[in-house]
Each structure stands twice: as C-alpha cells, then as structure tokens.
C-alpha cells in the first residue's frame, strides 16, 4: 500500500472532524486537484477536499473505506478502493499523481472497475 493514499481513504471513516481533517491534510500536497463522479467540478484546495470527505462521513457515518489494491509507475498510482462491506459494498478506481515526498497532488476517481460492457 501507498501510505498517503491509504491514509486519505481511511480518513473517510473517521467521525471526529479535527482528526479526519488532519489526516486528509497530511496526505495531500498543498497544490491538489481532486475529482470523482460526485464532484461537479475539480476540488482544488485542501479545505475543499476536507469538506467533501466530511460530507461523506456525515452521510455514511462509520462506513468502512479501504484501499484494497494499488499499483505504481514512477510517481503515478492506481488505487482500487472499497466503500462499505459485504453485498452493499462498491468499488472504485482512482488514478493518483504523487509528489516526490509521496503526498497526493492529483486524484481522479471512477465508479466501478471499468469492466467491458
């Protein structure tokens, strides 16, 4: 696992706002671009990403979120993330650009695994 990506997604399950926000901030570079199917536009500040993760935590309190697989090429990563458990779980894939210090600079998420139609 890649520590910053794992920390970013485990933060989604943290109920305490200050703890969650700190963990999200620690995983992100100061210059961040975050987009997924539920963002109308890319989020471009740490505070905006913190608020987005906070909304998820409020809407799905305690829902486990875990990185279940990663692969890397240079400073780029692909992460498979599981939201929830059991029959109600959903998978998503994220492409991630990492800074030299390992922090996330860009992350783009997709619903599902991209299986052929």
pLDDT digits (tens, 9 = 90+) for 17-58: 999 999 999 999 999 999 999 999 999 999 999 999 999 999
Average of pLDDT values for 101-106?
Answer: 97
- Name the residue ranges covered by the structural domains of the chain: 3-111
Report pLDDT for 86: 87
pLDDT (tens digit per residue) in 94-103: 999 999 999 9
SS3 label, residue 87: helix
User: Does 61 or 42 have the greater pLDDT score?
Assistant: 42
Instruction: Give the separation between CA 45 and CA 109, rounded to whole angstroms.
Output: 17
**Crossing angle for the helix pair 17-27 and 46-59, nearest 10 degrees?**
130
Answer yes or no: are the C-beta atoms of 75 and 99 closer than 8 Å: yes
- CATH (one of 3.10.450.50, 3.30.420.40, 1.10.1060.10, 3.40.50.1100) for 3-111: 3.10.450.50
């Amino acid at each position: 696992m890649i520590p910053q990506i794992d920390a970013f997604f485990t933060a989604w399950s943290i109920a305490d706002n200050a703890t969650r926000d700190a963990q999200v901030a620690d995983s992100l570079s100061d210059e961040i671009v975050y987009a997924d199917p539920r963002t109308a536009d890319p989020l471009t500040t740490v505070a905006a990403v913190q608020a987005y993760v906070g909304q998820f935590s409020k809407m799905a309190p305690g829902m486990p979120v875990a990185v279940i697989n990663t692969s890397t090429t240079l400073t780029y990563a692909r992460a498979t993330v599981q939201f929830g458990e059991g029959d109600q779980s959903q998978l998503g894939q994220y492409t991630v650009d990492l800074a030299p210090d390992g922090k996330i600079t860009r992350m783009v998420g997709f619903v599902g695994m991209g299986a052929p139609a």
